Amino acid sequence: MLQIGQIAPDFTAETTQGKIHFHEWIEGSWAVLFSHPKDFTPVCTTELGSVARLKGEFDKRGVKVIGLSIDPVADHLRWEKDIEETQGAAVNFPMIGDTDLSIAKAWGMLPAATPGSSAGRTPADNQTVRTVFVIAPDKTIKLQLAYPMTTGRNFDEILRVIDSLQLTAKFKVATPADWKAGGDVIITGAVSDEEAKTRFPQGWRTPKPYMRIVKLPDAPKQN
């Protein structure tokens, strides 16, 4: 299993937008890789349409999006027509073909010993290939979420997490439960009170000695 903080495995693959070398593709950007067990599956169809509609929101945050499904790229291209027809949005990001299962195995979504190729495999065979990864510009994994096949993913939540990751990387803060962009944040334990006075001259609230809550006036609020 991959761990948060680990370098995301590199790979070369064919996609619906041409061949990519993953580490080169994400160079200097945040990235989201989200995977699917099979083409022409109903829940995944809705998810791909949702991400297509939200592409502008990912772009605003400097985040590249890429999908993966264990089927050939030619099937992805046929599936994209169904997605546009049923979801009202054309897929506007690349989709990786992983017919030899190598990427799914390297990223811990299928056991390394899984035999064969995508041919003849059912969605149930690939049910663990339903993971969202958020990767930072330094190519480390910052988030991974695995979903069952029967539960569609909430990409507004993925955007919320990205807002938190980008904010906390910049300001040495953490975000509380149910935080949304523009809300109060928590000064991390790695920042001493003396350093905090310099970083946060506006001051902070201390409901408990281990809780220092502050508002960041220069942190932009996302819609």
Q: Any idea which residues carry the catalytic annotation?
A: 44
In sequence order, the 6+-apart residues with CB closer than 8 A to the CB of 154 are none
> Measuring CA to CA, how many Å separate 94 from each of 90, 128, 187?
12, 21, 38
Query: Which amino acid is residue 70, in one-letter code?
Result: I
Under 8 Å between Cβ of 153 and 164: no
CA pair distance 123, 110, nearest whole angstrom: 13
Q: Is 15 helix (H, G, I), strand (E, B) or coil?
A: strand
